[in-house]
Homo-oligomer: A and B are copies of this chain.
């Protein structure tokens, strides 16, 4: 069993994205992804599972139930003979946004559902897992196989959200509790350079093939790129501190208008540094899932919004890359880097010669609005709501983060968030036009 030429080891997340040869491979994959979700929750207290500290950061308990609901709704109900629904009320409670399935329970109120309890949700998972394994053994048709892979990729997305959401909860708790108590990896010397790209007519996106891909990555199509260059490295904490100390958060000329207006409208806690940062004396501290530490100047800056990323780039005389530039630079590189599989739960330093990995560490903001590729076609039926209906007002991020499963990420993978969002592990890679056309 292989995926992209890499062996899958026990103890690290396996791919939800492999070329499946038989039922037992699929069953093993299913169990592996499902168990990985529980493994990520192992350090949590019952209370941690319950809390929704902002509308975007759902309770871990809700995530556990919702990903299970996905299998029940899109696999067991339509395809499993004589399937008995676990609890009819769950259809609405754990529907995220599929209007085709019914009116979802209010998103902002998920944290108010003290019932069903965590124990009951774990029963739900167990029940659905048993039925899913039966289904896998009995009816391995293509539609089911595709949906199971979709369900597993969906669960991997929620694995990352569990980490970002629990970080928002714990990182805003005055006690600053750790998610896990472990020593950080060593810092590395920081050393950024430019790499140049000729551009021209290139291909972007992918077509359906043997491996699972999302509808929003398709189809493969041509785009024309002007010559550009990318930084070999992500912007570091140390560089970002220079921006802060040069008055970056106080200078409207550096900011997009909506970003600056957002700053002015913030009441108590006007942004003056990345999320989870705190200044004490002359020092900047950052909360990590492993506890609060000095913001290491050599590590990539993280938890910045697109507005901050754009303002930083403008301050540097640079810009954010487009998603097509990013993909063109990344498309032939191995998908290696600091993913959740490393269990560091925080960006690590970058070193060495040449272009550093564009994968892992932090999601990289692009300047590209999240939209449809030419001839985009959503998944069929209710699953068409998965990606397409979000194609407005959001920006594309690329590359995966230290909270993403490695097997979940591809060069063509498109993540998307709103410009002000900063609770994801999101950072900055700089770009520049290689030949700047002067106006006559």
Chain A interface residues (CB < 8 Å from chain B): 45-51, 53, 61, 89, 92-93, 97, 99-100, 105, 109, 111-118, 169-170, 172-175, 177, 201, 207-209, 215, 218-219, 221-226, 228, 252-253, 255-260, 267, 306-307, 310, 319, 367-369, 371-372, 374-375, 377, 384-385, 389-393, 395, 419, 433, 435-440
How far is it, in angstroms, between the C-alpha of A97 and the C-alpha of B47 when the chains are bound?
A: 24
Closest 5 A-B residue pairs measured CB to CB?
Answer: A369-B369, A99-B252, A47-B114, A226-B374, A257-B389
The answer to whether B374 and A117 touch across the interface, beta carbons within 8 angstroms, is no
Q: Which residue of B lies closest to A200 (CB)?
A: B222
Which of B45, B114, B310 is A45 in contact with, Cβ under 8 Å?
B114
Residues of B within 8 A of A97 (CB): 257
Residues of B within 8 A of A439 (CB): 207-208, 215, 218-219, 377
How far is it, in angstroms, between the C-alpha of A215 and the C-alpha of B97 when the chains are bound?
A: 40
The answer to whether A201 and B224 touch across the interface, beta carbons within 8 angstroms, is yes
The answer to whether A253 and B100 touch across the interface, beta carbons within 8 angstroms, is yes
What's the least CB distance linking A331 to chain B, in Å? 17
The answer to whether A258 and B393 touch across the interface, beta carbons within 8 angstroms, is yes
What's the least CB distance linking A305 to chain B, in Å? 11
As for how many copies of this chain the complex holds, the number is 4
Residues of B within 8 A of A307 (CB): 392
The answer to whether B224 and A372 touch across the interface, beta carbons within 8 angstroms, is no
The answer to whether A173 and B437 touch across the interface, beta carbons within 8 angstroms, is no
Q: A47-B114, A201-B224 are in contact. Are A92 and B174 (CB under 8 A)?
A: yes
Q: Which residue of B lies closest to A221 (CB)?
A: B226
Residues of B within 8 A of A105 (CB): 174
Residues of B within 8 A of A115 (CB): 45, 47-48, 170, 173, 175, 177
How far is it, in angstroms, between the C-alpha of A375 and the C-alpha of B322 when the chains are bound?
A: 12
The answer to whether B92 and A392 touch across the interface, beta carbons within 8 angstroms, is no
How far is it, in angstroms, between the C-alpha of A227 and the C-alpha of B223 when the chains are bound?
A: 13
- Can you pick out 28 interface pairs between chain A and chain B where the beta carbons lie within 8 Å of each other? A46-B118, A47-B49, A51-B112, A53-B112, A99-B252, A100-B252, A112-B172, A112-B173, A114-B169, A115-B177, A209-B440, A218-B439, A219-B437, A223-B224, A256-B391, A257-B389, A257-B390, A258-B392, A258-B393, A259-B392, A260-B389, A307-B392, A368-B369, A369-B371, A375-B433, A375-B435, A377-B438, A392-B395
How far is it, in angstroms, between the C-alpha of A374 and the C-alpha of B199 when the chains are bound?
A: 11
Q: Which residue of B lies closest to A439 (CB)?
A: B208
How far is it, in angstroms, between the C-alpha of A223 and the C-alpha of B322 when the chains are bound?
A: 14
Residues of B within 8 A of A258 (CB): 390, 392-393
Given A47-B114, A224-B224, A257-B390, 8 other A-B contacts at CB below 8 A? A50-B50, A114-B170, A256-B390, A306-B392, A319-B372, A367-B371, A367-B372, A393-B419
What's the least CB distance linking A423 to chain B, in Å? 14
Residues of B within 8 A of A169 (CB): 112, 114
How far is it, in angstroms, between the C-alpha of A219 and the C-alpha of B440 when the chains are bound?
A: 10
How far is it, in angstroms, between the C-alpha of A372 and the C-alpha of B225 when the chains are bound?
A: 13
Q: A100-B253, A115-B173, A439-B208 are in contact. Are A50 and B53 (CB under 8 A)?
A: no
Interface centre among A170, A175, A438 (most CB of B within 10 A): A175
The answer to whether B111 and A111 touch across the interface, beta carbons within 8 angstroms, is yes
How far is it, in angstroms, between the C-alpha of A298 and the C-alpha of B256 when the chains are bound?
A: 41
What's the least CB distance linking A251 to chain B, in Å? 9
The answer to whether A374 and B433 touch across the interface, beta carbons within 8 angstroms, is yes
How far is it, in angstroms, between the C-alpha of A228 and the C-alpha of B221 when the chains are bound?
A: 14
What's the least CB distance linking A207 to chain B, in Å? 6
Residues of B within 8 A of A100 (CB): 252-253
How far is it, in angstroms, between the C-alpha of A258 and the C-alpha of B393 when the chains are bound?
A: 8
Q: A50-B47, A112-B172, A175-B116 are in contact. Are A222 and B224 (CB under 8 A)?
A: yes
What's the least CB distance linking A220 to chain B, in Å? 9
Residues of B within 8 A of A259 (CB): 392
The answer to whether B174 and A89 touch across the interface, beta carbons within 8 angstroms, is yes
Q: Which residue of B lies closest to A440 (CB)?
A: B208
How far is it, in angstroms, between the C-alpha of A260 and the C-alpha of B89 when the chains are bound?
A: 24
Q: Which residue of B lies closest to A175 (CB)?
A: B115
Q: Which residue of B lies closest to A166 (CB)?
A: B114
